[in-house]
Amino acid sequence: MPWKEVSVMSQRLEFVQMASSEQANIRELCRHFNISAPTAYKWLNRFQESGQQQNLLDRSRRPHHSPRRTAAEIEQLVVQLRTAHPAWGGRKIHARMIALGHSEVPQPSTITAILNRHQLIDPSESAKHQSFCRFEHPRPNDLWQMDFKGDFALDDGRCFPLTVLDDHSRFALGLLACPGPSTMPTQTALRAVFRRYGLPARMTMDNGSPWGSSNKPGAHTHFTIWLLRLGVAVSHSRPYHPQTQGKDERFHRTLQAELLRYATLRTLAQCQLEFDRWRDLYNCQRPHEALGMQVPASRYAPSRRPFPEVLPPVEYDTADIVRKVRGWGHIRFHNRDYFIGQAFKGLHVALRYTATEGVLDVYFCQHRLFQINVVASTKRV
């Protein structure tokens, strides 16, 4: 079957980066990318011949010429620059070689490999440039971080960049140009991400619109209820603690430094074209220091949970105590009212007894929301 018309070159590169991982499931990747096994192995074999992106071009359109090893004079120049500037790493040497006007400049990851080969990188010094404590989830799609980058003006409105990042791999699942932070355009943008990469186990976001409220931190909205019905757990960052979503915040800094500070963007369509181009570079070409100079695509694999085009019904077990949320966000139980949330209006929730007398868990679909106490004066725990 043919490749999807998103960007043939970027999809091929993204596929081979994922398929090159030791834990890769080729058949599963073929299903996500909608290609046959012979097509998959053809591009994977071509890429593994030299590891060069040029090998993924259609040979009938452009001749391939990928050297298998960096020229000796270029390697010597890298060594000289490192000797002159011992604190410089692959990125700085790469930029300096471009500034000096050299026509053949290796990628930063290749320069790092040259420095390692010549034993010019001290592991103890490298460790000083890493975070003392860095937490990440053990598998792709365990957690996605989502946020809006600061908006900026266009000729006919404003652009609100929506960013979605996988916590484990730092893979940028979505970089989408939205006209505003409202529910409908954000859902439309996120659907495209879900269709391409599947559903995560959980998503975390701040308390801004459309997935939160600054007046009621942690409160659910129509947007987060949509995620819950899809089977995606939701968590919110603590107010005034952006470090909760540190990886996505760091991604915003990189986006600003490498794209937005230089680009002149006038329309949403132009923004999306530039976002797509830079996202491909970030995922498949740009070495990531937190990943040991690997690219994010090498550590990511799509989710095995497909996106359902039709929302599944809200169903509960026959042993559950089911209540419908009233128009002002409350339910009635044992002649008392308990506030659930205005966004749940018209939907059903389930009450389940716990081991503590008088305390019940409140569930929406398979997600536990909180507890209520039907004995003590406190109605909500």
CB 331 within 8 A of CB 314: no
| pLDDT reported for residue 69 | 67
Listed range (30-34, 50-54, 136-140) with the worst mean pLDDT: 50-54
Which tens digits make up the pLDDT trace of 163-178?
A: 999 999 999 999 999 9
Q: Is 298 exposed, middle or buried (0-12, 13-18, 19+ CB in 10 A)?
A: buried
* Number of neighbours of residue 35 by Cβ within 10 angstroms: 20
Mean pLDDT on 33-37: 85
Phi first, then psi: what are they for 41, rounded to 5°?
-70, -30
Which tens digits make up the pLDDT trace of 211-241?
A: 877 667 778 889 999 999 999 999 887 655 5
| pLDDT reported for residue 130 | 47
Residues near 210 by beta carbon (within 8 Å), at least 6 away in sequence: 181, 182, 183, 186, 221, 222, 223
Name the residue with tokens 């004995």.
Answer: 375
For the chain, percent of residues with pLDDT exceeding 70: 86
Listed range (132-136, 244-248, 249-253, 370-374) with the worst mean pLDDT: 132-136
Could you give the 3-state DSSP secondary structure of residue 92?
helix
Which tens digits make up the pLDDT trace of 250-292?
A: 899 989 988 898 889 999 999 999 999 999 989 988 888 888 7
Listed range (59-63, 133-137, 221-225) with the worst mean pLDDT: 59-63
